[in-house]
Amino acid sequence: MTPPDALLWVATRCFETGPRKGLGLAVSGGGDSMALLHMLGPEARARGLRCRVATVDHGLRPEARAEAARVAAACARLGLSHEILDWRGWDGQGNLQDAARRARMTLLAGWAERHDLDAVALGHTRDDQAETVLMRLGRGSGVDGLSGMAKARGAGGLTWLRPLLELRRDDLRRWLEERGLGWDDDPSNTDPRFLRVRARAALKAIEPVGVTPDGLVATAERMALAREALEHLADDLSSRATRLACGAVAIKAEALARAPAETRLRLVSAALRWIGGSVYRPRLGALRAALDGAATARRTLGGVVLEPWRGALWLSREIAATGPAAEIGAPWDGRWIVTGPVLPGARIAALGPAGLPQCPGWRELGVARAALLASPAVWQGETLIAAPCAGRGGAWSARIVAGFPYRVLPH
């Protein structure tokens, strides 16, 4: 058991290196998140930091609205602003908990942006970490997966914090009870249809053979250290062998072949996600097969073309996977912004095989053809106006919103 004062000290350490503009608290009304609210909310106010609270209603249980109202009442007593974020996107297909989690993070990120918050705190505990590692063991995860959830993770200018990750669920509930603070138990947390619930039960069953929550958390901590070292190696390889061109990634084939397998896979996986926009790493078997095949021939994976060209492995967006046409200034294909003069009826779409021949100097650019075909172009009807990546930019320019995750060679 952790002493109550120590619980509060652990939870509030996130303020030392955390939010500067404003802090968001994601509070469902369960025990963990209510502890988060009552630990961090008053501390934020005491530090003069703006703090807002959000509850996501997934529209899956009729009781959820009343639970959100009780969170709102608790926030009012603490002098904190509260907002309910609604999700009604479940179509009954696929993994419900995964879909709900991704929707929750998207809603919270948008909420944080609207209110100029630079960090959002989540209520994950030490128990959640152990369950996560166990589930990932079952999926055959590698170092990254077994490193579990991070205490702090930056994405898109927002930091996701998990201040309770070192604390046990039972200790947090005891802390609430000692202060006369209530919470709501979500019935889905005991529904065996969900993998996390089964993992929670399995943890109790395997403790007699020495597999304990503490042991799984210790594994996650060791794996996080290993992940940091592997990321350093991938970054070093990228800095010596990778260049970016027209939204594509070119990696020197010789340097890639000499690198250890894990470093090679890590760099190529990062390139695939950066180009294709996938949230998740490709499956190991598919990644290995694509990388091995691309040493001598063209391959595709996750909306990305892999092909050998001029001594490098080129990874380019697959033209068939590019997004629909977009208006000037709006994101296209989830990664490009194209700007230029006001032109009625202009739209952004892939340059494609109809547009590339209209860029006579494209062969001298030193860029793989697949990359240019999938690059953004300005069209007015069927007329090509500009192709900023293919040497026909004029007054138009194109840029990629997200930076590559590793260092690269200078242009």
Dump pLDDT digits (tens) for 35-72. 999 999 999 999 999 999 999 998 778 898 999 999 99
> What's the CATH fold of domain 4-211?
Rossmann fold (3.40.50)
pLDDT at 189: 83
Using CA atoms, how far residue 206 sits from 130, 202, 393, in Å, is 13, 6, 63
Task: Quote the tokens at residue 373.
Answer: 């075909």
Question: Is 184 annotated as ligand-binding?
Answer: no
Q: What does the alpha-carbon distance between residue 273 and residue 52 come to, in Å, rounded to a whole number?
A: 32
Residue 260 contacts by C-beta under 8 Å, 6 or more apart in sequence? 233
pLDDT at 96: 75
Sign of the alpha-carbon dihedral angle for 12, 16, 17, 18: positive
The architecture in CATH of the region 221-317 reads Up-down Bundle (1.20)
More confidently predicted of 191 and 381: 381
> In the chain, what are the domain boundaries?
4-211, 221-317, 321-400
pLDDT at 92: 65
> Residue 98's closest CA among 139, 62, 45?
139
- Tell how far CA 316 is from the center of its chain: 21
Q: What does the alpha-carbon distance between residue 291 and residue 271 come to, in Å, rounded to a whole number?
A: 12
Question: Is 142 annotated as ligand-binding?
Answer: no
pTM for the predicted model, two decimal places: 0.89
Question: Is 188 annotated as ligand-binding?
Answer: no
Dump pLDDT digits (tens) for 126-156. 999 999 999 999 999 999 999 999 999 998 7
Same fold, 4-211 and 221-317: no
Q: Which residue has the tokens 């901590």?
A: 221
Residue 319 contacts by C-beta under 8 Å, 6 or more apart in sequence? 350, 352, 370, 373, 374
Residue 2 banded pLDDT, cuts 50, 70, 90:
low
Q: What does the alpha-carbon distance between residue 249 and residue 261 come to, in Å, rounded to a whole number?
A: 19
Question: Is 278 annotated as ligand-binding?
Answer: no
At residue 185's C-alpha, the angle toward residues 182 and 187, to 5°, is: 165
Strand partners, 383: 380
Q: How many CB atoms lie within 10 A of CB 124?
A: 23
Dump pLDDT digits (tens) for 217-247. 999 999 999 999 999 999 999 999 999 999 9
Residue 157 banded pLDDT, cuts 50, 70, 90:
confident
Give the amino acid at 168: R
Dump pLDDT digits (tens) for 257-292. 999 999 999 999 999 999 999 988 999 999 999 999
Question: Is 147 annotated as ligand-binding?
Answer: no
Residue 362 contacts by C-beta under 8 Å, 6 or more apart in sequence? 356, 369, 372, 390, 391
Residue 4 banded pLDDT, cuts 50, 70, 90:
low
Q: What does the alpha-carbon distance between residue 303 and residue 278 come to, in Å, rounded to a whole number?
A: 9
Question: Is 24 annotated as ligand-binding?
Answer: no
